[in-house]
Amino acid sequence: MGQLTFRGKLLAALGAALLILVCVAVLSYRRILQEDADQKSVEHTHLVLEKIDSVSSGLVEQENGQRAYPITKDNSFLRSYDAGLANLRQNLADLRKLTSDNPKQQAALDRLDPLVASRLALFKAYRQGIVTQDKQEIDDKQLMDEIRAVFLQMRQEEQNLLSKRLEAAESSSRRSKFIIASGYSLSFLLLALAGLVVQSEITKRIDTEHELKSVQERYHLLFDSNPIPVWVYDLETLAILDVNKEASRHYGYSRDEFLKLKITEIRPPEDVPALLADLSKSFSTEEDSTTWRHTKKSGEIIDVEIKSYPVRFGARDARLVAALDVTERKRAEEAVRQSEERFRLTVSNVKDYAILMLDTEGRVISWNEGAERIKGYRADEIIGQHFSRFYAAEDLKAGKPAAEIKEATENGRVEDEGWRVRKDGARFWANVVMTALRDESGSLRGFGKVTRDISERKRAEQEILQRSAELEAANRELEAFSYSVSHDLRSPLRAIDGFSQALLEDHAAQLDNDGKNYFQRIRAATQRMGELIDDLLGLSRVTRAEIHRERIDLSSLAEEVAADLRNSQPERDVEFRIGQGLQAEGDSRLIRVALQNLIGNSWKFTSKRPDAQIEFGLIRSNGRRAYFVRDNGAGFDQAYADRLFGAFQRLHGMNEFPGTGIGLATVQRIVHRHGGKVWAEGVVDQGATVYFTL
Amino acid sequence: MDDKVILLVEDNPDDEALTLRALKKNNIKNEVVVAHDGIEALDYLFGTGAYAGRDLNHMPQVVLLDLKLPKLDGFEVLRRLRASEPTKFLPVVILTTSNEDQDRIKGYGLGANSFVRKPVEFDRFIEAVRQLGLYWLILNERAPLPRSV
């Protein structure tokens, strides 16, 4: 609209200026004509005046001739007079003609004509002598005065006319000058105004153009250097009309390739119908934001978030599209979603643990199957309820729920074991772990709570505790008993033996052989009793001792035991065959006791053989390594093999072989305490083999 | 050798008689002071109670200490005499019936010089006493007694 105003203004100014100029031109032309006319009429007046003067001077010459003639009677005067007369007549005629437009002058001429004629007639009459000179002179003078008066009048008339005309011409010229000058001034003013308007308009247009240019540059900058793929497509043909660099880079098409594509061609074919349907309905929408799948030149399909706006592109209705690749984001979101789904399924299906979530106030917001099983509430009964209802009355009184919330908030976690209450009021012993859940910014979102019903375990633990206590008491008793046996049972034996000896030594004279024999038997019995007590204490010690497992060199242990036996009875000749490099894990003290008993037994039971052989080695039995001690001694009846390992069980008489019958029981105890097995094979008089594993 | 006193701390009269007999059998004629419980043993050693005014410059050559004693057991006696300056280095042989690990560990831990188990067989007991006498009364050199008491 401003344009139109500008154009109207400009046209009006220019039109007005033109009109004024035309007027001034017309006026000037007319002025020129007028001046011409004025000039002519002035000139005419001058001409009339001249004629008047020349007629007047002709008359004066005639008068002079008339006067001179009478004096001189020179005919030459008459001739010039006649010539002058013709001239006068001619001049008068000219004058009449010249003043034909002026009735006043014509009237004056009309008056003049008879005067001139009268004078001429007078002179003619003089010349003809009809009148005297005096008369003629007097009359002529009168006539001349009259003529002069007419001329004067005419002259005055003509002078008046001249001054009038000069004045008129001057005033007309002045007026014209003023009109022309003001016309020009006005039109110059208007032109200057128009010029100014044009100037300002041009400046304005230049500014606008600059601005337009910088806008265009900015637009290109924004469009081309936009880090998001952007293009414009024709709403009707769907052809891509313009595309930015990022789109080329991201989709793999060059700009030229892109401009040959339609937007349907960067979609997977199966998505095209949906796209067309969408386009047909969303033409009218101002702005649109949706997620689509696009195909790159490589064929790779990406997820994009599209934002589009309707635009005019040249003369076309088009749409500007910004396509943000969200493939990675969607993939991550999908992974998170799947993970959450898996987690949710896992949690909700867990039956052995109550897994629930609390809001920051402690109200239940999620509930799994385990929670329902353990606490007895269905999800719809408990969600929104405060978790304090799971606590026993005494814990509620003590403010435990609030304290646990506080601790979990402060330390991130709280663990508790204690009584909790089911919906039906029954109590169960629970292990509860409550963890504060915080979001990325660290603000508290709620609590995760895992509760296990460990009533069974608690019961079992209590039972074990009780058993342990009982066992410990029994052990203490046994220890006290052993200690007591060790001290108190041996003392009387020593007294019996000691005083028997004293009797035999100090009172031998008063004893016969039977008496001495009996005292000897008392002494043997007490000594055997001492051995029994020692062996029993050994067995008990083996039972009670703690096992310290370590790597043991069994071969050298067996060698040491053999050496001790040889030293105890150097007179015996026994062949030891001890396997080399045998190693085992076990308690070295106890294993030594076991080997002492086993090899000691072999030593004892081969005492009647001159070719005694004792072997220690390793065999494989049922896939297990078994050590063995074998001898070629007295052996035993396999039928009694099971009884061998019982305490005080003996297969030989005391007279045959001494012993307490506790050795193998001790060996069995040691092997069992190592988690192994022990068994024996024997043939009477051919030898025995005892096997053990560790 | 005769002025070297043996302090026998033993509550069981049978054991006391047998020990004295074993010493006699080995011809050990040193004076034997018998204390029948822990308190009596300490009274002798510190010159208190029944032994008040005893010349404390005269300390036994060796103490034969039983563990199971009335009033104050052998361990407590040992602990107290080791804590006292005059008896800190006194040779103490634990002479007892048991050979329980715990007793040996505790005995040595409290500073016993020797641990001997009394065998049931009297002949072997005599042999043990002979060796003890030989070692502690003849072979062993005691630490010097402190100057002042």
Question: What is the DSSP code string of A196-257?
Answer: HHHHHHHHHHHHHHHHHHHHHHHHHHHHHS-SS-EEEEETTT-BEEEE-HHHHHHH---HHH
Taking the CA of residue A514 and the nearest CA in chain B, the distance in Å comes to 21
Tell me which of B25, B103, B120, B125 to substitute to probe the interface with A (most A C-beta atoms closer than 10 Å): B120
Is a pLDDT exceeding 90 seen at residue A352?
Answer: no
Contact flag A494-B18 (C-beta cutoff 8 Å)? yes
Q: Which residues of B touch A502 (CB under 8 A)?
A: 21, 122
Is a pLDDT exceeding 90 seen at residue A65?
Answer: no
Q: Report whether B6 contacts B32 (CB < 8 A).
A: yes
The residue of chain A with its CA nearest to that of B124 is: A498
Residue A483, chain B, CB below 8 Å: the answer is: yes
Is a pLDDT exceeding 60 seen at residue A249?
Answer: yes
Taking the CA of residue B52 and the nearest CA in chain A, the distance in Å comes to 33
Is a pLDDT exceeding 70 seen at residue A389?
Answer: yes
Residue A493, chain B, CB below 8 Å: the answer is: yes
96-115 in B: which are within 8 Å (CB) of A? 96-101
pTM here is 0.44
Q: What mean pLDDT value characterizes chain B?
A: 89
Question: How does pLDDT run across B94-146, given as a tens digit for each residue?
Answer: 998 877 788 899 999 999 999 998 888 899 999 999 999 999 998 888 887 66
The residue of chain A with its CA nearest to that of B68 is: A487
Q: Report whether A596 contacts A617 (CB < 8 A).
A: no
Order the strands of the A613-621 sheet from edge to edge.
A575-578, A613-621, A624-631, A687-692, A678-683
Contact flag A491-B97 (C-beta cutoff 8 Å)? yes
Q: Which residues of A touch B97 (CB under 8 A)?
A: 486-488, 490-491, 494
Q: Which residue has the higher pLDDT, A120 or A230?
A: A230
Residue A502, chain B, CB below 8 Å: the answer is: yes
**ipTM reported for the complex surpasses 0.90:** no
Question: How does pLDDT run across A10-33, given as a tens digit for each residue?
Answer: 788 788 888 888 888 887 888 788
Per-residue model confidence (pLDDT) at position A497: 92
Contact flag B122-A486 (C-beta cutoff 8 Å)? no
Contacts with A606 (C-beta within 8 Å, 6 or more apart), sequence order: A574, A612, A613, A614, A631, A632, A633, A634, A687
| A483-486 contacts at long range (C-beta below 8 A, 24 or more positions apart) | A483/B98, A483/B100, A485/A533, A485/A536, A485/A537, A486/A533, A486/A537, A486/B97, A486/B98, A486/B99, A486/B100
Per-residue model confidence (pLDDT) at position B143: 82
> Exposed, middle or buried, A571 (CB in 10 Å: 0-12/13-18/19+)?
exposed
Per-residue model confidence (pLDDT) at position A423: 92
Contact flag B122-A492 (C-beta cutoff 8 Å)? no
Q: pLDDT band for A3, please (50, 70, 90 cuts).
A: low
Question: How does pLDDT run across A438-458, given as a tens digit for each residue?
Answer: 988 889 999 999 999 998 888
Residue A486, chain B, CB below 8 Å: the answer is: yes
Q: pLDDT band for A283, please (50, 70, 90 cuts).
A: low
What tokens were used for B35? 């204390």
Per-residue model confidence (pLDDT) at position A178: 85
The residue of chain B with its CA nearest to that of A484 is: B98
Per-residue model confidence (pLDDT) at position A286: 57
**Dist CA B118 CA B96 (whole Å):** 6
**Dist CA A111 CA A396 (whole Å):** 159
Contact flag B122-A501 (C-beta cutoff 8 Å)? yes
40-59 in B: which are within 8 Å (CB) of A? none
User: Which of B68, B101, B122 has its CB closest to that of A497?
Assistant: B122
The residue of chain A with its CA nearest to that of B99 is: A486
Q: pLDDT band for B1, please (50, 70, 90 cuts).
A: very low
Q: Could you identify the residue written with the tokens 């042989």? A: B93
> pLDDT > 70: what percent of chain A?
98
120-139 in B: which are within 8 Å (CB) of A? 120-123, 125
Q: pLDDT band for A182, please (50, 70, 90 cuts).
A: confident
Contact flag B14-A529 (C-beta cutoff 8 Å)? no
**Over the range A382-399, which residues count as b (16 or more CB within 10 Å of their CB) and which as e?**
beeeebbebbeeebeeee
Is a pLDDT exceeding 80 seen at residue A209?
Answer: yes
Count of A–B CB contacts within 8 Å?
61
Q: Tell me the backbone φ, ψ of residue A400, rounded to 5 degrees.
A: -65, -45
**Dist CA B45 CA B145 (whole Å):** 13
The residue of chain B with its CA nearest to that of A545 is: B101
User: Which of B21, B99, B119 has its CB closest to that of A502?
Assistant: B21
User: Which of A490, A499, A541 has its CB closest to that of B120?
Assistant: A490
Question: How does pLDDT run across A475-516, given as a tens digit for each residue?
Answer: 888 778 877 777 778 888 889 999 999 999 999 899 999 999
Is a pLDDT exceeding 60 seen at residue A285?
Answer: no
Q: Which residues of A touch B99 (CB under 8 A)?
A: 486
Q: Report whether A341 contacts A334 (CB < 8 A).
A: no
Task: Name the residue among A607, A615, A581 with its Cα closest to residue A689.
Answer: A615
